[in-house]
Amino acid sequence: MEWVQFVIFFLGVFGLFIWNRTESRTDARHMDNKLEAQRNLILSVHKETYDLMKDFHERLLEIEKSRK
C-alpha cells in the first residue's frame, strides 16, 4: 500500500509540474506578443515625431532663406 501511495503522489506532483510549466510558457508567449505590439507602437510614434521635426526644420530653413 505504501508504494501505491508513493506512485500516486509522484504522478500527481509530476503532472502538476508539467501543467505549471505549460501555463508558464503560454503566459510568456502572450507577454512577448504584447511587448512586440508595444514596441511597434513606440517605433511608429518615434518615426512620426522624427518626420514632423524634420518637416518643421525644413520649413524654418525656407523661412530663413526667404528673409535674406
Q: What is the pLDDT of residues 6-30, one digit of tens each?
A: 999 999 999 999 999 999 999 999 9
Does the predicted TM-score (pTM) go above 0.85? no
Q: Within 10 Å of residue 43's Cβ, how many Cβ atoms?
A: 10
Q: Which helix (H) or strand (E) holds 1?
A: none
DSSP string, 11-64: HHHHHHHHHHHHHHHHHHHHHHHHHHHHHHHHHHHHHHHHHHHHHHHHHHHHHH
Query: pLDDT grade, residue 67 (50/70/90)?
Result: confident
pLDDT score recorded for residue 23:
96
